[in-house]
Every structure is written in structure tokens, then in C-alpha cells.
Amino acid sequence: MLGILVFVLAACGGHPKGVLTPVADTAPDSSRVNMLITTTRSRSANPGEMYSGERAQAATFADMTVSIPPDTVRKAGEVAWPKRMPPNPATDFATLKADDLDMAGAKSWLSASVRKTPDRSVLVFVHGFNNRFEDSVYRFAQIVHDSGVRSAPILVTWPSRGSLLAYGYDRESTNYTRNALENLFQYLYRDPEVKEVSILAHSMGNWLALEALRQMAIRNGELPAKFKNVMLAAPDVDVDVFRQQIDDMGKKHPNFTLFVSRDDRALAVSRRVWGDVSRLGAIDPEQEPYKKELEDNKIMVIDLTKIKAGDRLNHGKFAESPEIVRLIGSRISDGQTLTDSRVGLGDQILVATTGTAAAVGNAAGLVLAAPVAVVDQNTRDNYAGHLGGSAARTGGRAATTGGCDRTRPTAPGCPR
């Protein structure tokens, strides 16, 4: 029964798959964002997906251009996912270029792109938990466009399986990617053409960004002066661990801007998962000891609690509020909602009933979410993956259906 339900729900999901297959540039009024991508994800067998949520042995690179429709057909802060394939650049986000690069090609892209910026700067974005590859690409394109940033954009995308129930796997994937991100930071530090580096991280991506900066500071003795701004959006980071990370970076750390929201439901669940220790992105910055510590470390705080934007978990406000996105652009310029919004009501039920990071999911939550999937498109899109993961843990039949995709054809139980 589970296997049948997985198949049915997978067939009636949200946005179309394979959106990264390049299309012709048929909308002269659209905007274009060209970005460098570095990833520790494995290649997908589907060219339209490019990369899966599994881990590669080494980092790889890509040169991508995303077309963004005019503001007359799209709200600022919104990713206009195509409703059908192929996408229409006049109304949808569309991929115009998706070229693989080797190391030499990535260095050449960086050199040419940095020279086009007014201040020889780069913006590095590290996405958060529960992001497929296309989620991170389109979300970063939206942020770059809506913020008006003129820095050379670099997307760092790590192996996330794009499921609310893969929290443990995603967390270990950030650890898996620490050295690769530090290597990027070290290259930007040594490249004389790069004068300034800004970093924007979201959710679990903050752990990755902070750990890479910490490693670099320990290895080099301090952080380079060209690392000007680090923006921490809804950081899923233990506040006690953050204290140590900041201390290890030394007194000459970058200018930190912290985006917090006390109504962030995703971080509330994370707090329960990790021993009831406060998550950095959900603190009250006016309460002690946080207020004094933030002042002592010269960390600017933007409290988004009252902002009515972002996904239903209040975890993506930084990207989906037009004012906040413009603030990010201003912050970068002055110094030199992120998960995707496809979170359904059923996902909220699953989050609320998931008790530990190791658990794939709560059976009661899946049962409660099932009726919601019938009427809620976002839940339908994610539900099949939840069921497949749950059955894989319990030895159910859906492990054969949900776990044998093209990226893992040799998984136990897959048909040969």
C-alpha cells in the first residue's frame, strides 16, 4: 500500500522536475543571473537535475545562467517555478546555461566575473537544510536579482536530500563539505584580483560556513581582512558552539549580521532535537546573556519576528521579504525566505511529530499528513519522499520504490 501511495503522490507533485535543462532565451525583458557553482553533490543521472542529494568524492564546478521574468509578473522575494515544461522565460524562472567546469574553468570564470564588479567583490551563498540542487540555484538567483548585489555570485551547494526527514544526513553532509568550503575561502584569500568577500548562509548552512571560517582562522592564524561581511540567516547553530566558533576566529573577525526570528518553527524543532539548547537564529537579542555577548562581539542583529513573510515554518523570511532582501544588498554594498518555500501543511505536521534527529519520521505524523496531501500541493510534492524514507527505515515495501531512484540504483532491495 505504501509503495502504491508513493508512486501516486510522486506523480502529482508540485513544480516540474528537470528544470535545469537549458532553454532558449526568448524573453528580452527578463533579467539574467550568471553564477559559479561549487558542489560536493554527486551527479544525477537526469541531466535536468544535474546533481543529486548524494555525496561526491571531490568538489566539482558549473557555470549557470538563470533567467528571471519581469517584475510585472513576479513578486520580489518569490521564485516563479514553471508550472509546466519547458519553462517560459517570460513568466518563469528558466535555466539558460548549465555548463560543467573544471578547476581551470572555474578560476577563469571567477577572474572574468570579478573584473566586471565595481569593487572586485564576490558573494558566497551557502544554502540550508532541505534543499534540492535546483532549489538552491533558483533561490540564490532570486536573492542576487532582488537584492541588487553587483558582486560575483558563487553558490556553494552541499549534499542535501531535500526532505524534512533527512535532517541527520543533511547535518553530516555539512561536516563532509567543510574542507571543500575552506579550500574555496583559501583560494579567494590568495587571489589578488578578489578585493572583498561577503558570505550569506541560511539555516544549517550557517554551521558549514562558520566551521569553514573557524578552520581557516586556526590554520592561518587569523581571518583575512578581505572577508568583510558574514550574514547569518536563521542559523541552525547551537548558541554555546557559536561562542566557541567566534572565539576561535579571533578578534579580527568579519562584520557579522545575524537574522533572528523567535517564531521560527523549524529552529524550535531543532532545539528539541539537540538537547533543548537554544539555536542561534531563534534567540531574543534583547535578553541576557545574548544582548551583552552580541554587543561585545560587535554583531549586528536584525530581528524578523514581526515580519510576515517566508514559508509556513517562518524559516525563510530573509529571502522572501523584499525589504530584507534589499537590506542584504545594502549591507553588502555598505561593507564593500534559505530553504525553498515549498513547505506544505503536511510537512508542518511531520516536523511537529518528529522527535529525534536520527528518526526518519513519526508514523503518526505520516498518517495525519496523508489527508492533507490530497488538497495541499506542497505536501504532495514532498510526501512521497517522506514515505519512501520511512519505509526504508522500517523495512517496508516502499524502500524498493522510494529508494531505488536513478542516483542509487544499486541500493539494497532494488531490482537488478
Instruction: Specify the DSSP class assigned to residue 278.
Output: P
Please give the pLDDT value at position 76: 80
Do 259 and 232 touch, CB atoms closer than 8 A? yes
Do 380 and 373 touch, CB atoms closer than 8 A? yes
Q: Is the pLDDT of residue 338 over 60?
A: no
Q: In 3-state terms, what secondary structure has residue 345?
A: helix
Confidence of residue 155 (pLDDT cuts 50, 70, 90): very high
Q: Average pLDDT of 278-285?
A: 70
Residues in the chain: 416
Residue bearing the bigger pLDDT, 347 or 262: 262
Residue bearing the bigger pLDDT, 415 or 62: 62
| Ranges 28-37, 74-83, 161-170: which has the least confidence | 161-170
Please give the pLDDT value at position 4: 37
For residue 311, give the C-alpha cell.
514559508
Q: Average pLDDT of 245-254?
A: 89
CB burial readout 351-362, b (16+ within 10 A) else e = bebbeeeeebbb
Confidence of residue 303 (pLDDT cuts 50, 70, 90): confident
Whole-Å CA distances, 65 to 21, 99, 152: 11, 9, 13
In the block, residue with C-alpha cell 518555500: 341
Please give the pLDDT value at position 376: 43
Do 131 and 266 touch, CB atoms closer than 8 A? no
| Ranges 100-109, 241-250, 311-320: which has the least confidence | 311-320
| Ranges 133-142, 382-391, 392-401: which has the least confidence | 392-401
Q: Average pLDDT of 304-308?
A: 60
Q: Is the pLDDT of residue 404 over 70?
A: no
For residue 71, give the C-alpha cell.
517584475
Predicted confidence (pLDDT) per residue in 104-124, tens digit: 999 999 999 999 999 999 999
Confidence of residue 152 (pLDDT cuts 50, 70, 90): very high
Confidence of residue 412 (pLDDT cuts 50, 70, 90): very low
CA-based R_g, the chain, Å = 20
Q: Is 317 exposed, middle or buried (0-12, 13-18, 19+ CB in 10 A)?
A: buried
As a whole number, the mean pLDDT across the chain is 75
CB burial readout 18-52, b (16+ within 10 A) else e = ebbbbbeeebeebebbbbbbbbbbbbbebebbbbb
Predicted confidence (pLDDT) per residue in 19-54, tens digit: 999 999 999 999 999 999 999 999 999 999 999 999
For residue 66, the cross-strand partners are 33, 95
Please give the pLDDT value at position 329: 54
Q: Is the pLDDT of residue 84 over 50?
A: yes
Alpha helices in 85-231 (DSSP H): 103-116, 133-147, 167-190, 205-220
Q: Is the pLDDT of residue 74 over 50?
A: yes
Residue bearing the bigger pLDDT, 390 or 197: 197
